[in-house]
Amino acid sequence: MLRTPGGGAGHGTAAADSGLMSIGTVLNVLREEFPEVTISKIRFLESEGLIEPRRTPSGYRKFSAQDVERLGRVLRMQRDHYLPLKVIREHLDALERGENVRVPTLGRQRDGEQVPEQPTVARIGRSQLLAAAEIGERELEEWESYGLIAPLDEGVYDAETVTVATLIAQLGRFGIEPRHLRVMKAAADREAGLVEQVVAPLKRHRNPQTRVHAEERTKELADLAVKLHAALVQTALGVRLP
């Protein structure tokens, strides 16, 4: 279970207010179990109706402990079961109605293989990706042709590809086509190359502990690069996101 700050017994309105968290605090709480979660991911799940945080008069999001628990359930079902957001939403709604329901599974996929309920690696098959991102084969083929999505050597995909595919679909609703996103993919590749250049000496080290440190440093640098990229885009557009 996720541990949220300020979870003890309260004293009146001040305690209730202190129990509400900013999106940054929520991110820190979730990262104990979900290291790859981002603020963009939380905002996306909100836009899809999976959570409904409160808003301050100035428009900033404020999350309750219940919101964080719900987010944890959503991320867990995505990670462990590769469920489409529509199925996750229906499942959570049923729980809120007090129904005794089990976590659903995708069942048999188009390739005839059964999806494991407890996958041990963060890899998904093509049919699982299509179902989890709620897209069609034609869309996926187009995105692959532009290099926005690519399978691994084994023909499977990194689980994070679901997030990439879902965001591409979201941008498409605003008229942003895959060909427009090639510049973003190129920028991401350059940023990744810069991080790889920094950690390469650590990864080649003979000491196993040093190589483990390289993985930790990679995640830290990736997080900073994502934050910088987001800040630069916001500055260029002259907007401030809550």
Domains and CATH numbers, the chain: 16-104 (1.10.1660.10), 107-176 (1.10.1660.10), 178-242 (no CATH)
Question: What pLDDT is recorded for position 11?
Answer: 42
Question: What pLDDT is recorded for position 150?
Answer: 92
Please report how the helices 208-237 and 182-203 are oriented relative to each other, as an axis angle in degrees rounded to 10: 150
Q: What are phi and psi of 63, to 5 degrees?
A: -105, 140
Per-residue pLDDT of the chain (242 residues; tens, 9 = 90+): 676 665 544 444 443 455 799 999 999 999 988 888 888 889 888 988 899 999 998 888 999 999 999 999 999 888 887 777 888 888 888 888 888 777 665 543 334 444 434 333 468 888 888 888 889 999 999 999 999 999 987 788 988 898 899 999 999 999 999 999 999 999 999 999 999 998 888 888 778 777 778 888 888 898 888 889 888 988 999 987 76
Question: What pLDDT is recorded for position 4?
Answer: 64
Question: What pLDDT is recorded for position 3?
Answer: 66
Please provide the DSSP assignment of 122-175 as one string.
SEE-HHHHHHHHT--HHHHHHHHHTTSS---TTS-EETTHHHHHHHHHHHHTTT
62: part of which helix (H) or strand (E)?
strand 61-62
Please report how the helices 85-96 and 65-81 are oriented relative to each other, as an axis angle in degrees rounded to 10: 130
Q: What are phi and psi of 130, to 5 degrees?
A: -60, -45
Question: What pLDDT is recorded for position 90?
Answer: 85
Question: What pLDDT is recorded for position 133?
Answer: 85
- Residue 214: burial class (beta carbons within 10 Å; 0-12, 13-18, 19+): middle
